[in-house]
Amino acid sequence: MSLHGQYDSDNIFAKIMRGEMPCVKVYEDDNILSFMDVFPQSEGHTLVVPKAPSRNLLETNAKDIGRLFGSVQRIAKAVETALKPDGIVITQFNGAPAGQTVFHTHVHIIPRYEGRALGAHGGGGAMAEMEVLKSLAEKISAAL
């Protein structure tokens, strides 16, 4: 998938937002949905997705970007409170050559813990246990 093109409303995050696919939800409001990454690169890897359809940040309107990053900061602070990581990486990929695998704009919140290696990006690692993700999501939600 190149950087620009037609938005595909059958992408996996669009299906999650329509309730056609499950997710382990952290937070939802009128503008964003946040849920646990099922192939976490570290414990507590959380995604923040604007509800308005766009393929990537370059195609997202500035107002939605403002709201999105306000939510990213709020959820990152909750991740910090809930999980006490030593650092937090925020990533966002635009276009397949950049590493994007799901073509609906989203931001990754990836907690880092000293001495623990980062897992592979883009589903390269192991799928997480749902019960583990639910417990992490509950802790993060409670800290919001």
| Strands laid side by side in the 107-112 sheet | 25-28, 32-36, 46-50, 107-112, 87-91
Does residue number 102 form part of the binding site for ligand AMP (CB under 6 A)?
A: yes
CB of 101 to ligand AMP, least distance (A): 3
Does residue number 100 form part of the binding site for ligand AMP (CB under 6 A)?
A: yes
**Whole-angstrom Cα distance, residue 109 to residue 120?**
14
Residue 104 a catalytic site member: no
CB of 6 to ligand AMP, least distance (A): 17
Catalytic residue among 4, 45, 104, 106: 106
DSSP string for residues in 82-138: HH--SEEEEE---SGGGT--SSS--EEEEEE-TT-PPPPSSS-SPPPPHHHHHHHHH
Does residue number 87 form part of the binding site for ligand AMP (CB under 6 A)?
A: no
Environment class of 3 (CB within 10 Å of its CB; exposed 0-12, middle 13-18, buried 19+): middle
Among 123, 130, 132, 135, binds ligand AMP (CB under 6 A): 123
Number of amino acids touching ligand AMP (CB under 6 A): 14
Q: Which of residues 27-56 bind ligand AMP (CB under 6 A)?
A: 37-39, 47
Binding site for ligand AMP (CB under 6 A): 12, 21, 23, 37-39, 47, 93, 99-102, 122-123
Q: Annotated catalytic sites, by residue?
A: 106
